[in-house]
Amino acid sequence: MNNNQIFPEYVSVSDLQRNYADVLAKMKKCSQPVFILKKNKLEAVIINPLFYAQLIRQNQDTEEKMALKAIGIYQKEKKAKKLKKLSKAADLFV
């Protein structure tokens, strides 16, 4: 991720409508998301494809780490014979 810009870019919906090309150019230049506001409330976020791909990769990496950790816990508890058979899913929350 390119950190040339410290603060996120905020643009109103009306500015986006008037200056669409400029908003996209800024987003591409600094590789940061552009937050679109409507009546000062977040309406949408525009991100470039490389930033999106990076977010997806980070999410996949996090999910893999969590899955591997869960598998490790399962194997440890199985070895220690701490696993229990449940007759219904509601028993998980007792």
Domain count, the chain: 2
pLDDT at 14 over 50: yes
Residue 39 domain-assigned (yes or no): yes
pLDDT above 90 as % of the chain: 62
Domain span including residue 66: 48-80
Could you tell me how far CA 13 lies from the centroid of its own chain?
Answer: 23
Taking all residues of the chain, what is their mean pLDDT, rounded to a whole number? 89
Which DSSP string corresponds to 14-75? HHHHH-HHHHHHHHHHHT--EEEEETTEEEEEE--HHHHHHHHHHHHHHHHHHHHHHHHHHH
Give backbone dihedrals phi and psi of 39, rounded to 5 degrees, phi first. 55, 45
Per-residue confidence at 6, pLDDT binned at 50, 70, 90?
A: low
Beta strand pairing call for 34-38 and 41-46: antiparallel
pLDDT tens-digit readout, 17-35: 999 999 888 888 877 889 9
Model pTM?
A: 0.64
Residues 53, 41 share a domain: no
Span 45-71, average pLDDT: 95
